[in-house]
Amino acid sequence: MIKLNQKQKIILKHIDGMSNRSIASELHMSKDTVNKYVNEYENQKQELLAKNPETDTKELIQAIVEKPKYNSENRGPNKVTSEMIEVIEECLKVNEWKRANGMSKQQMRKIDIHEYLLKKNFNISYSSVKRLVKTIEDRHREAFIRQEYVLGDVCEFDWGTAKLDIGGEGYKAYQMAVFTPAKSGIRYSMLFKSQDTPAFQQSHAEFFSFCKGNFRTMVYDNMRVAVKKFVGLFEKEPTKALTELSIYYGFNFRFTNIAKGNEKGHVERSVEYVRRKVFSEPGNDKFDTLAEANKFLFEECMKLNNKETSNGLVPMEIFKEEQKHLFPNLPKFESSIYSENRVDKYSTVTVSQNHYSVPDTLVGKMVKVKMFTDKIIIYYDNSIVAKHDRSFKLHDWKIEIHHYLRTLHKKPGALKGSTALLQTDTQIKYIYEQYYTKDAKTFLQVLEIIYEKGIHAVTEALRELEKLSPMDMSADKVKVICESRKEKEICVTVPLNDHLTEKSRSTLSIYDKLAALQSRKLNKEAV
């Protein structure tokens, strides 16, 4: 291919009257090349001079001065064969099957397909393989069909993440559940610590409660909390959690195709939009508690829902009309994971690889466990025996010291280095370190009084006892002081100027007057 300056020399020499053969000889190039550019110049010049009204003059000028180029429009790779194309298409089909079966990370990339072809003794460059793969994929490119939606029919759900600093723990990724009805386009979102079954179910329960009803159809992508497994390329089996929600609320559901975010485009855009609009401003990404963060998220979503959109509509106004077409409102679905566990030798049950304590009288017995988004509740014989805040760490231990009182009475020496003491309430730990580090038995007795009378009452009793008898801080004395203080509180004199007292005094005064009158009357009759 000649350069632009070479084209210039050919045209200038042609204008000077040199023959094409002479130009080719002087510039050391083919006569056919010179003929080509001279003929192009003359044709374009004649067209420009003719000034045909339908001719764009700018295009003709551009054609004269543009850089020379080859016409490779219909030229294909020289080494491509039908057998080679068949192999590439087979590799792409395998990739599609792997995506459908949760093996997307094991797909063949273009470089892998090229190496595979070389192993098959095909002689082709990597760049040719890239062009062929693009051509084959473009051949199957689909058209999108615009949808029309009716009120109360379709709502889409998706997960997103937002990095927030909650409780001063530093920035962590929190899971953001987002709902967007296809018709009204409102946004409803909630934050969770984990993208698990309780969070999935609770988000739906809270959203339907907010809507005061639920939609006929819910749309999901291939998220693990909704899809249990793939059955072939297109069929998916729903999880137990989704099936339970569908049965309780009576909605149908459908899944999008793999890598087809456009099939739930409303919520796909909502995730990015809500995250940016709510948390992007300075100071909007730090909160004291998760509840505070969720309250802020809800309020900001409501502001967005009441703003006029580019089409001149207000989503919340449409949603108020949509509420009339929803299924009837039901009580909130209880979102939890139920399981039965055996209590181990440490008097704990293991839930999601974390240990939670129960009373030590239950070692070896089967208990029932309900795991919610924020707490763990444990039942035995239909009674609650333990409650814990749920831990989202790995291999964590949540221990309540009062669950081990029976065992610690038998083994008081085990108290000092125990996880139970380490994790106990700060005030209880202070009492141990201040008064009973050398007397674990007495501390355990005081601990029972704490659970009976309350930590505040025992703390006040210990302070009083320390003044009266610092050398003898026995549990019996602590209990006596607690009870005497309680009796004093009960026996506080009630003021005599309250409404009931005044009423009683008034009534008695009337009776006194009546009695006096009656007495005078009797005296007169006697005289």
Q: Parallel, antiparallel, or unpaired for β 366-371 and 337-342?
A: antiparallel
Domain ranges of the chain: 4-65, 82-139, 154-325, 337-398, 402-492
pLDDT > 90 in the chain, percent: 32
Distances (CA, A) of 257 to 4, 143, 226, 227: 50, 15, 14, 12
Give Cα 344 to chain centroid, integer Å: 33
pLDDT at 231 over 70: no
DSSP 226: T
- How many other C-beta atoms are found inside a 10 Å radius of the C-beta of residue 154? 20
At residue 316, the pLDDT reads 94
Tell me, which fold does domain 4-65 have in CATH? Answer: Arc Repressor Mutant, subunit A (1.10.10)
Binned at pLDDT 50, 70 and 90, residue 487 comes out as confident
Residue range 154-325 forms a domain whose CATH class is alpha beta
Report the pLDDT averaged over residues 91-96: 86
At residue 5, the pLDDT reads 78
SS (H, E, C) 397-410: EECCHHHHHHHHHH
pLDDT at 399 over 70: yes
At residue 527, the pLDDT reads 46
What pTM did the predictor assign?
0.60
pLDDT at 515 over 80: no
Residues 6+ apart with CB under 8 A from 331: none
At residue 522, the pLDDT reads 47
DSSP 354: E
pLDDT > 70 in the chain, percent: 81
pLDDT at 418 over 60: yes
At residue 470, the pLDDT reads 82
DSSP-derived 3-state class of residue 253: strand
Least confident of 131-140, 176-185, 484-493, 517-526: 517-526
HSE-CB of 267 using CA atoms within 13 angstroms = 25
Binned at pLDDT 50, 70 and 90, residue 477 comes out as confident
Report the pLDDT averaged over residues 45-60: 60
At residue 302, the pLDDT reads 95
At residue 140, the pLDDT reads 63
pLDDT at 389 over 80: yes
At residue 455, the pLDDT reads 87
pLDDT at 322 over 80: yes
